[in-house]
A and B are shown apart, each in its own frame.
Chain A
Amino acid sequence: MRESKIMLLQYLTGLFILVLGTFHMLLLSVLAPTSNKVLYQYASTNHTLIGGTLYYSTVTAIYHTLLWGSIFELLLTFLVFHIFNGFRIILSEQFPGAKAEKVITYSMLILGLVIFIWGSRTIVLMLLQGGI
């Protein structure tokens, strides 16, 4: 692919990561599915954790919705591209040359794919309510 296309994708994914990452973070506050929006909620009588935004079942419940599942999948896609293309750029500046370029590009591609498949597996398993 032409370097211009790759770099435009790099900038666009950066922008999307900012937007989707903001949503991701807002899930802890204004978009939190819990009524009182606290991160941890303890029982009034003892220190047992009973709810809150970061409570395991609250978190998994978010993943069970298709909308959030898709948002996370998109975020993962953009992140993997942005991060591994970034590594490719840094490394090919450090080790210029046709041969090194090839090795770097393919290694980053393979590493990126592995992370993407692993991350997608997590998201899909959560979406199908099986947990991980």
Chain B
Amino acid sequence: MNGDVIQLVVQVDDLIPRGTRMNVFESIYWVFIALGTLVGIIVIGYMTYSAYRYRSTGDHAADGDDDRPYLGELPTGGGKGRKLFLSFALSAVVVISLIVWTYGTLLYVESPVSAQEADEELEIQVVGQQFAWEFIYPNGESSFELHVPADQRVRLVVTSDDVFHNFGIPALRAKTDAIPGQTTETWFIAEQPGEYQAHCYELCGAGHSGMNAKVVVMEPSAYEEWYASMGENASGNGSGDASGENATATPTAGNGTNASGTASTNASENTS
């Protein structure tokens, strides 16, 4: 149903921000901030100026005296309809074009890669629980810290074990709801190795304020090493209920053995 829109968007393809989630967000955010500030200053400036100009103690106070409202009159609209519509049309054009512009980016963010390319993604299951995040890797091992390689697209398949949470890594601009019984997805590419924080963005109980997780972006080689050693790290292996069933069908997602398989067929889309 979005075919026409997509067509239209493709023509202005060059204007649409792409790249990492950070790039996308930054370019749109700053355009909005700039325009928003400008519009805010103009509109509030104008209304203040106009109110001051026609203050009752000023020079222009008598300008409209031939036609003041009186008690008990039946209301009629004042004039200046043309000006009103002009301003309205202008604002509508600005708002609609902004949204159409960002819609192209939405389509990109929703499906950044073709199905074939999806093979190269790293898919990690994220399970929210009061009050921690568990990350389950393709090898079936799990950890309470998110380790990812730099410069690789990471796809998060997010769900919850108990209540409604929301998983977000602000610095990497990845965020999605963690809903019990449902899975949602988000993705990111981290360019800079380093440590980041993930937070919970939906009130989920007494420990909500502290429901954070450490996100470690590693050089690809370091990541490979870490990934290979995962099984040995007993403390990181949080989930004991790994079984043979399809990971995408179980809300607990306690299993990652065939997670990479589902990623390539894109079957996990269907559960959402």
Say if A and B assemble together. no
Chain B positions near chain A (C-beta within 8 angstroms): none
